[in-house]
Structure 1
């Protein structure tokens, strides 16, 4: 039995710890729980097949991330963790014209050949049919419904994963971890066979500690929670209008709307009037009826990105037994559970079924 220490308890670190504990190892996960963690703030859409991004290495991770979710969630359920925040409710992608709808339909249909988990594709060509899915939308006559799409609450999934890891013997410590000549948790030195660093937007603190170049930048994301006067009569799908905004409706009538994309070098984990205003102005252009909703919450998270917006993971050069992973960006909730299983295999020295060279840290220094 090997001893592993995971620094960072976002969904990536939590999943890594869970998979190592499931394999029977001695696992400690450490996090100081700074305000602004991306996982803690995020409400995610698991529908990577709708993206028009062409980077094959990125798509490999997100496609496998989506495919892995049912297995992962079933394992958590078997361990008694039923509140995972994950639900396969389908995705409704909105379009302004029939041409863009046809283009997306053809693209996703082609992807379905290798990803049957996409499910059924249903083109929609009337405003009334769109409003049957989500009655507060306006200005749209075209949409594509993808039955395999899902939503996930990052905070709920992270908590369920940590609890499952603890049930399998892992130890969770909510403390400060630092590295100088050795690893310190609080004021105590901690030994390990392999150290795994998954600290997201705070990753450069650890890069500096190991004497390597900064690895990540970050964006501030503000996400607003609205609530309707009445709950929905049936589970609505997640909504993807044109552009970068998304809606994650819940059966109780809440609708999570995100997000801002604010480049910053600061950690200011508080909502701003400008950020909230920009989200709402854009949301009202998709559904003016949303103006009647109440504001329930605004969450803030910092998304980490590498220079080429591709997740990076691997063993640090010239540093013994340190595995580093970062840069999941806006795909963190889609990729996190799956990539945690990958990091677990790498940490144990097991062979992988894909080439990791495209994701090596040295490629993105």
Structure 2
């Protein structure tokens, strides 16, 4: 089949690669001049197979009210008369129950663990290098209350068989020696040792070259005008340079996916939540992280990428805006210099990107009501983490194969009125998953 993949970020490029491996003729369309130039460009760098949770959780509404008054708040809300924003926020609040949190986290962990396997396979078969490290994620708690509250995450990790280790202060320092300089600021931590780090931009660019070797055609600098749909089936994509015919289309446009789908009556509850990052050159390696440290107080990830520190985080709900607020930069600098003063923040590059968030945290992967039209979007902060597994799932679905994991609960159909909330999604036994 001829398959058009819309979007050349990490999710779109991994999808194109897997589809080409499956024997399809693939074209990727993106408005940017190259791959990974929007949300995938300077993300936090963490590949968080274990540190993987929905933002909608019990207690979040109360925490959000407190965060509003924090100087270095992890959540920034700029409300506006935007029906999509208000609808998304209402749906997110409905997911802040224990039952939905447990289901959503289980779905996310399952897909993330499958992606861990898929990324390892991809790395082995391509030999791609991207400043990768395999030393885990340390969720760092500054207070005993935070450490106690992690019990619900520990329960979910144990239920899904994800390795973890609860650490006291000294255990955190053994894992991240530079924290010895700030030991009095640490109450404990939660280590997920299977997590990785790496430069998403480097990876996506390298994989796009491998995809080209498999015959994938990349149409950069090409704006997408709409879909060509006839008699309930997608027939192609309409671009500024003309129509591209296709037997199947995979939408991987991140936050912009709902805008493309809306004219066809597909209501995709994905909304942009802006995140920020700093990339800081390391000047003192003894005071820099070895892997990823997640500062739970500020919800900021501090990651080692070669000779750089990537600091990423915050959630700003403000629509499709990409301005760079200096208050956000100050929050990133505060978190990293407070824990790891081993870089020169004055020489940092400052960036923002729009994360495509669903109200339940789980991405949307699978078919739509239009035949031949598939979605692979809504990964939020976990596009880098879930991309390899998501690509395999969507490639299998497009190819008419049964995915190696149960894909129920991943497609847009889960948002239909009356959809079952508590259905389980066990892994389908597979030799490749052992």
Deviations along 1:124-158, one digit per CA (max 9) or x if unpaired, are: 43386466254564511533444322113221221
Name which of 179, 193, 213 aligns with 2:247. 193
- In the aligned structure 2, how far is the partner of 1:322 from the partner of 1:206? 12
Deviations along 1:176-202, one digit per CA (max 9) or x if unpaired, are: 222254522442221111111110011
Residue 421 (structure 2) aligns with? none
Say whether the 8 Å CA contact 1:224–1:298 is kept in structure 2.
yes
CA RMSD of aligned residues (A): 3.2
Using a 3 Å threshold, how does the CA distance of structure 1 residues 222 and 124 change in structure 2: closer, same or farther? Answer: same
Q: Secondary structure at the match of 2:359?
A: coil
Name which of 389, 392, 409 aligns with 1:341. 392
Residue 321 (structure 2) aligns with? 267
Q: What does 1:34-45 align with in structure 2 at a 5 Å threshold?
A: 37-45=38-46
Using a 3 Å threshold, how does the CA distance of structure 1 residues 87 and 209 change in structure 2: closer, same or farther? Answer: farther
Residue 82 (structure 1) aligns with? 128
- In the aligned structure 2, how far is the partner of 1:131 from the partner of 1:214? 41
Using a 3 Å threshold, how does the CA distance of structure 1 residues 48 and 137 change in structure 2: closer, same or farther? Answer: farther
**TM-score normalised per structure 2:** 0.72
Say whether the 8 Å CA contact 2:320–2:354 is kept in structure 1.
no
Say whether the 8 Å CA contact 1:58–1:311 is kept in structure 2.
no
Say whether the 8 Å CA contact 1:105–1:144 is kept in structure 2.
no
- Size of the alignment, in residue pairs? 357
Q: Are positions 1:142 and 2:188 aligned together?
A: yes
Q: What does 1:1-365 align with in structure 2 at a 5 Å threshold?
A: 2-33=1-32, 37-51=38-52, 54-79=101-126, 81-96=127-142, 101=147, 104=150, 108=154, 111=157, 114-115=160-161, 118=163, 121=165, 123-126=167-170, 129=174, 132-134=177-179, 137=182, 139-174=185-220, 175-179=222-226, 181=228, 182-213=236-267, 215-232=269-286, 236-243=290-297, 244-252=299-307, 254-268=308-322, 270-284=323-337, 286-287=338-339, 289=341, 293-317=345-369, 319-364=370-415
Using a 3 Å threshold, how does the CA distance of structure 1 residues 192 and 85 change in structure 2: closer, same or farther? Answer: farther
User: 1:32: how far off?
Assistant: 1.0
Say whether the 8 Å CA contact 1:199–1:326 is kept in structure 2.
yes
Using a 3 Å threshold, how does the CA distance of structure 1 residues 113 and 304 change in structure 2: closer, same or farther? Answer: closer
**TM-score normalised per structure 1:** 0.84
- In the aligned structure 2, how far is the partner of 1:299 from the partner of 1:266? 15
Say whether the 8 Å CA contact 1:221–1:260 is kept in structure 2.
yes
Deviations along 1:316-338, one digit per CA (max 9) or x if unpaired, are: 22x23111232111122111111
Q: Secondary structure at the match of 1:28?
A: strand
